């Protein structure tokens, strides 16, 4: 098929009137990788994608594909192809003509373009639907046709704008796996915009977390999940409790003792001087959990806290619990189904959550949002 090429964004800015949608981002996307831009709505991810596709003008900075700067190259000449959010299939054309559209624009003969279009419909297993119109297809089928239409122009980079958001949850997971398979098979870069962190973590070779026009973190799914660089990323990726404490004791060069808002004490791997604030995250599934005994009432062990259970969400493989702890909105704990059965926690009862120091991740910038 076609070669994949690196994509470079340098100091990229997008401004709409006075609002800055993208605020000087730098990003290298190596050839042949699956890259997910993820963030809440209005974070600039879609603007970034649309600038790469050429449907939005670049305010400042540059976009290069391979060794060519493409700021002023028209969309069809960039070696990119776009898959639109609602697929944007041409409603008056059947699947075959939809896929063959770009070749028709180039002036290829009917035979040539239909032969080629059929090949791509076969690739996405839609060859039996070539006479159908978009309105006669299901969401998943529409998506496959849109994929075939995007791929037929042999792009170096495929751009996907929330491609799964129009599907129902079951199909979303199925099509997600399929997208990843296609990316592997074709070997070209996929740049995929999504607001779902699960989707990003599941798909991406590397995840780009954006917020308010800037990139907060770039890393593999594991890096982003296990070592979020700041509170925003930790909260956006989810599955973490963000805990704040003040240093009250320096244990050794690598460890300090913190005091929590409600008298808890946390031992964490961090450096600093007494009085400094430290923010760290704790994975919700790395917490051990037990019912409060009489013996525990007075003194709380280090690296633990207590609270009433305010929420139980049964999810099958695991169970999410919410604990009411004064300084947190909600302290989340994820138990395996087995542990849940063993403990059978009850709503409204006091429990103690504790963890070991190794499972704590301290943010690099200690004085974050002090």
Q: Using CB under 8 A as the criterion, which residues of the chain lie in contact with another protein when the complex forms?
A: 53, 55, 74-77, 81-82, 84-86, 88-92, 101-102, 104-106, 149, 153
Burial 319-357 (b: 16+ CB within 10 A, else e): bbbbbbbeebeebbbbbeeebbeebebeeeeebbbebee
Among 281, 328, 289, smallest CA distance to 312 is for 289
**Closest CB 161 distance from another protein, rounded Å:** 9
SS3 category, 39: coil
Alpha carbon distances (Å) from 104 to 100, 101, 115, 249: 6, 5, 12, 73
Residue 219 token pair: 């890393």
Residue 30 token pair: 């190596």
Among 71, 121, 73, smallest CA distance to 101 is for 121
DSSP 319-338: EEEEEE-TTSS-EEEEEEHH
**Closest CB 124 distance from another protein, rounded Å:** 16
**Which residue shows structure tokens 């340098």?**
10
Of 4 and 53, CB closest to another protein: 53
**Closest CB 108 distance from another protein, rounded Å:** 11
Counting Cβ atoms within 10 Å, is residue 146 exposed (0-12), middle (13-18) or buried (19+)? Answer: buried
Of 101 and 225, CB closest to another protein: 101
**Closest CB 77 distance from another protein, rounded Å:** 8
Of 2 and 86, CB closest to another protein: 86
**Closest CB 73 distance from another protein, rounded Å:** 12
Of 74 and 316, CB closest to another protein: 74
User: What is the Cα–Cα distance from 120 to 76, expressed in whole angstroms?
Assistant: 18
Element (H, E) at 22: strand 19-29
Of 72 and 273, CB closest to another protein: 72
**Closest CB 195 distance from another protein, rounded Å:** 18
Among 339, 288, 340, 290, smallest CA distance to 313 is for 340
Of 82 and 244, CB closest to another protein: 82
Of 84 and 368, CB closest to another protein: 84
**Closest CB 176 distance from another protein, rounded Å:** 21
Of 104 and 291, CB closest to another protein: 104
**Closest CB 75 distance from another protein, rounded Å:** 5
Of 91 and 275, CB closest to another protein: 91
**Closest CB 343 distance from another protein, rounded Å:** 50
User: What is the Cα–Cα distance from 51 to 60, expressed in whole angstroms?
Assistant: 11
Among 164, 195, 212, smallest CA distance to 22 is for 212
């Amino acid at each position: 098929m076609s070669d994949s090429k690196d994509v470079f964004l340098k100091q990229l800015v997008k401004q709409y009137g006075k609002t800055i949608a993208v605020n000087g981002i730098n990003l290298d996307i190596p050839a042949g990788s699956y890259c997910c831009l993820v963030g809440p709505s209005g974070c600039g991810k879609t603007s970034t994608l649309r600038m790469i596709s050429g449907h939005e003008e670049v305010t400042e900075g540059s976009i290069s594909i391979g060794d060519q700067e493409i700021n002023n190259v028209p969309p069809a000449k960039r070696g990119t192809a776009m898959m639109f959010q609602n697929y944007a299939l041409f409603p008056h054309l059947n699947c075959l003509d939809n896929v063959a559209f770009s070749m028709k624009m180039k002036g290829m003969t009917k035979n040539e373009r239909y032969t080629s279009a059929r090949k791509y419909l076969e690739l996405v297993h839609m060859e039996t639907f070539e006479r159908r119109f978009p309105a006669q297809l299901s969401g998943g089928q529409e998506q496959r046709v849109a994929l075939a239409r995007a791929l037929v122009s042999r792009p170096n980079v495929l751009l996907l704008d929330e491609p799964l958001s129009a599907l129902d949850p079951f199909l979303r997971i199925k099509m997600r796996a399929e997208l990843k398979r296609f990316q592997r098979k074709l070997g070209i870069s996929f740049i995929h915009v999504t607001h779902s962190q699960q989707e990003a973590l599941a798909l991406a070779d590397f995840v780009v977390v954006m917020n308010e026009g800037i990139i907060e973190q770039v890393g593999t799914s594991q890096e982003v999940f296990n070592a979020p660089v700041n509170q925003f990323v930790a909260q956006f990726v989810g599955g973490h409790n963000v805990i704040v404490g003040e240093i009250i004791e320096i244990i050794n060069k690598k460890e300090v003792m913190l005091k929590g808002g409600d008298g808890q004490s946390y031992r964490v791997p961090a450096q600093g001087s007494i009085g400094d604030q430290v923010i760290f995250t704790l994975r919700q599934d790395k917490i051990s959990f037990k019912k409060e005994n009489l013996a525990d009432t007075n003194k709380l062990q280090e690296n633990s806290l207590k609270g009433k259970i305010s929420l139980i969400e049964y999810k099958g493989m695991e169970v999410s619990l919410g604990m009411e702890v004064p300084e947190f909105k909600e302290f989340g704990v994820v138990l395996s189904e087995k542990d849940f059965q063993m403990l059978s926690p009850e709503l409204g009862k006091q429990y103690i959550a504790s963890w070991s120091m190794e499972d704590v991740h301290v943010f690099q910038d200690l004085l974050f949002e002090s």
